[in-house]
Amino acid sequence: MTDSPALDRVRQAEEEARPKAYPERQEGLGAWLLQRRRLRRERFLLRAKAFSLRREAARNLFISGCLLFDVLVVPEPALILGGIVGLGLSGVLLAAALALEIDFYRSHFASPPEQGA
């Protein structure tokens, strides 16, 4: 006596819909937690392998230089010219400086995108 494919699908659906016993749930949760922990460890090892002290120092120096430029140089037109024209020129200069700084940072210091996540 052979079962029809439709009957097999119904049995399979019932099996999947059946509430799992406590040990089955614990086993699935444990496997999931172990896999998650393994993936986190692998990502950590990849980041540690790619870490460079020279690159980190250059990144910190670049950020410090950008902050100094944005705080000390960009407001000069507002202080020299005064009024709306100076503020407008400083705003345009700040927007341009930030755009260039972000572009440079992304091209030289940004970490590569993570695989799979």
Q: What is the pLDDT of residues 54-101, one digit of tens each?
A: 888 999 999 999 999 999 998 998 888 888 999 999 999 999 999 999
Domain count, the chain: 2
Provide the 10 A C-beta neighbour count for residue 109. Answer: 14
23 or 41, which is more confident?
Answer: 41
Structure tokens, 1 = 């006596």
Residues 42, 87 within the same domain: no
pTM, entire model: 0.54
What confidence score (pLDDT) does residue 52 get?
Answer: 80
**Contact predicate 70/97, CB 8 Å:** yes
For residue 117, pLDDT over 50 is answered with: no
Residue 117, CA atoms < 13 Å, CB-side half-sphere: 7
27 or 102, which is more confident?
Answer: 102
> Which residues form the domain of 91?
52-111
Choosing from 14, 29, 51, the residue where a domain stops is 51
**Contact predicate 101/66, CB 8 Å:** yes
